[in-house]
A and B are shown apart, each in its own frame.
Chain A
Amino acid sequence: MNDPHITKWDNNAATFDLFNAGIERRYGEVKRQHFAKATGKTFLIAAGTGSDFQYLPPGLKVTAADFSPKMVELAKEKAKDYDGTIEVVQADVTSLPYEYASFDTIITSCAFCSVPNPIAGLKELHRILKPDGRMFMFEHVRATNPLLGFMMDILTPITRKFGPELNRNTAANVRKAGFTIDREFNVYLDMVKLYTAIK
């Protein structure tokens, strides 16, 4: 495992929950409401340590993937508490081992700030989602305010070394991958957003 992206997230695994506790505290309820619309066979990408499993509605058949083996190890423990089935797998979103139209729903939570090639990853999600299937996303993106956006551009080369990128234009990437954005909701300024995208 010499991929620097995998190494970075492997290194973050042990302290991931500690550094994300504030985000979960603040946005947990928002995520729960957004992900409540998930139905059927569900694919959750960038599962991390599995902290988002608690926000999934009960009874789903979930496949949760992350490319960091250490994250997957921790997520498997949290998957045991879910009232449904969660299979946690190690996989790269740009090359998923699933057939065309395998899933009814896709969920992403702070995933496309970290995927090295976001458009390729989103195209792969588009491939595995059933026609008319929904993708529910909770993502942080570059602010449109010029001052905030500029600050995020300056900080990104630093944050990218140990964590996510701050200046992604995820809405544009989602559209480039072939999805239609059905709903966009500003959770904090226009930096933290919910998207519902349709194949």
Chain B
Amino acid sequence: MLVEKPVWLRRYDYFCSALIGAVTAYLTALVVSVGWPMIAGMITGTFIGIVVITIAIMTLSLAGGTFELMPPAMLTGKITGMTIGMFASMAPLVLTGVILLGISIGLLAQGIVHYYDSIMYGEVK
């Protein structure tokens, strides 16, 4: 049995990860500012990421299910929040750049999980 995964669902997975990255990055850049201790910025960013993940799982999963959303969302939200929190505490950031970085992290996280899934998919020997 090898059921082809619908292309639109694959695209939706990437869209969700990119959105989670963008929103986490944007909110973290708004909250954390220059002068914060770096650790505090990173922890705050991670916390914002977890909040975004929770809301995303409750809403975005309605269209594509929870399972495929959860692993990349966890990676994206936490890594984006931590990274942007760190940078935002060090220097002023351009919002467009921040959002693009969040999207990039989301797409990369989804790509890694997608690759990992393609290796694992199928019969367990």
Which residue of the partner chain A has the closest CB to B1? A33
The answer, yes or no, to whether B120 is at the interface (CB within 8 Å) is: yes
Known: A183-B123, A188-B117. A22 touches B65 (CB 8 A): yes
Which residue of the partner chain A has the closest CB to B125? A184
B15-69: which residues lie under 8 A (CB-CB) from chain A? 61-68
A193 to B65, CA, bound (A): 15
B67 engages A184 (CB within 8 Å): no
The answer, yes or no, to whether B95 is at the interface (CB within 8 Å) is: no
> How many A residues touch the partner, as a band?
20 to 34
A23 engages B65 (CB within 8 Å): yes
Which residue of the partner chain A has the closest CB to B60? A22
A142 to B124, CA, bound (A): 15
B1 engages A34 (CB within 8 Å): yes
> How many B residues touch the partner, as a band?
20 to 34
Which one of A18, A26, A34, A145 lies within 8 Å of B65 (CB-CB)?
Answer: A26
B66 engages A148 (CB within 8 Å): no
B1 engages A192 (CB within 8 Å): no
The answer, yes or no, to whether B74 is at the interface (CB within 8 Å) is: yes
B64 engages A25 (CB within 8 Å): yes
Which one of A19, A34, A188 lies within 8 Å of B62 (CB-CB)?
Answer: A19
The answer, yes or no, to whether A100 is at the interface (CB within 8 Å) is: no
Which residue of the partner chain B has the closest CB to A22? B65
B120 engages A189 (CB within 8 Å): yes
B3 engages A25 (CB within 8 Å): no
Closest-CB distance, B53 to chain A (whole angstroms): 10
B64 engages A26 (CB within 8 Å): yes
B62 engages A18 (CB within 8 Å): yes
Residues of A within 8 A of B64 (CB): 22, 25-26
Closest-CB distance, A75 to chain B (whole angstroms): 21
A17-50: which residues lie under 8 A (CB-CB) from chain B? 18-19, 21-23, 25-27, 29-30, 33-34
The answer, yes or no, to whether B71 is at the interface (CB within 8 Å) is: yes
A23 engages B66 (CB within 8 Å): yes
Closest-CB distance, B84 to chain A (whole angstroms): 21
A57 to B111, CA, bound (A): 36
A25 engages B63 (CB within 8 Å): yes
Closest-CB distance, B67 to chain A (whole angstroms): 5
Residues of A within 8 A of B113 (CB): 189
Which one of A29, A34, A188 lies within 8 Å of B67 (CB-CB)?
Answer: A188
The answer, yes or no, to whether A85 is at the interface (CB within 8 Å) is: no
Which residue of the partner chain B has the closest CB to A158? B54
Residues of A within 8 A of B67 (CB): 23, 26, 140, 188, 191-192
Which one of B61, B62, B70, B120 lies within 8 Å of A190 (CB-CB)?
Answer: B120
A143 to B113, CA, bound (A): 13
Residues of A within 8 A of B116 (CB): 145, 189
Q: Mark A3-22, 1 if CB is under 8 A from B, else 0.
A: 00000000000000011011
A140 to B6, CA, bound (A): 20
Q: Mark A173-199, 1 if CB is under 8 A from B, else 0.
A: 000000000011111111111100000
